Amino acid sequence: MSPGSSAMPETELTKKELEHFAKILAERKERLGEEIRRVLARSENERYADILAGGGDAGDTSVADLLSDVTFAEVARDAAEVRDINAAQARIAAGTYGVCIDCGRPIGKKRLEAYPTAKRCIEDQQRYERLRGGPSQRS
Ligand SMILES: [Zn+2]
């Protein structure tokens, strides 16, 4: 807990704001966990629920192979979001939440309210999606 004399980017959010986002993330994660459990209970793959709800890698073939394509598609999205939330929670713990991982500038509270798991500022996110032909492009 030393004051920021280093060049490491640090969040400009106040403790209260960090607590606010931490709460949003925790609640969202809980809801996703419930949804994952519900979908998997329906598909008799309940035993994988804890892995996925905990942010275990849904891209892991050992889990993916065991689920039907339809079930997997449903939970993969939720599990991916859980992983994003875990990463955001780790950034809160590290004091780097709300700081763009590319340029080190503040992401901005408005964007964080809309996307609490955002790890890039809007400019870098757009550039990132353009480079990898991300979701904003349809072909
Ligand atoms: Zn940036």
- In this structure, are residues 36 and 46 in contact, taking their beta carbons and an 8 Å threshold? no
Mean pLDDT, the chain, rounded, equals 83
Q: How far apart are CA 121 and CA 113, in angstroms?
A: 13
pLDDT at position 62 is: 64
Q: Which of the given ranges, 60-74, 100-114, 122-136, has the highest pLDDT on average?
A: 100-114
- pLDDT tier, 2 (very low <50, low <70, confident <90, very high otherwise): very low
Centre of ligand 1 to C-alpha 75, Å, is: 30
Q: How does pLDDT run across 22-65, given as a tens digit for each residue?
A: 999 999 999 999 999 888 887 767 767 777 777 766 555 566 66
The C-alpha angle 107, 111, 115, rounded to 5 degrees, equals 110
User: In this structure, are residues 67 and 99 in contact, taking their beta carbons and an 8 Å threshold?
Assistant: no
pTM of the predicted protein model? 0.75
CA of 73 to the centre of ligand 1 (A): 30
**pLDDT grade, residue 137 (50/70/90)?**
very low
Helices and strands counted in the chain (H then E):
6, 0
* Distance from Cα 126 to the centre of ligand 1, integer Å: 10
Compute, in angstroms, the gap from residue 23 CA to the centroid of ligand 1.
Answer: 24
3-state class (DSSP) for residue 119: coil
Question: What gap in Å lies between CA 119 and CA 126, rounded to an integer?
Answer: 12
Q: How far is the CA of 47 from the centre of ligand 1 (A)?
A: 39
Nearest by Cα to 15 from 117, 104, 101, 97: 97
Query: Cα(105) to centroid of ligand 1, in Å?
Result: 6
Helix (H, G, I), strand (E, B) or coil at 68: coil
CA-CA-CA-CA dihedral for 37, 42, 48, 52, to nearest 10: -40
Query: Could you read off the pLDDT of 104-120 as tens digits, one per residue?
Result: 999 999 999 999 999 99
Q: How far is the CA of 46 from the centre of ligand 1 (A)?
A: 39
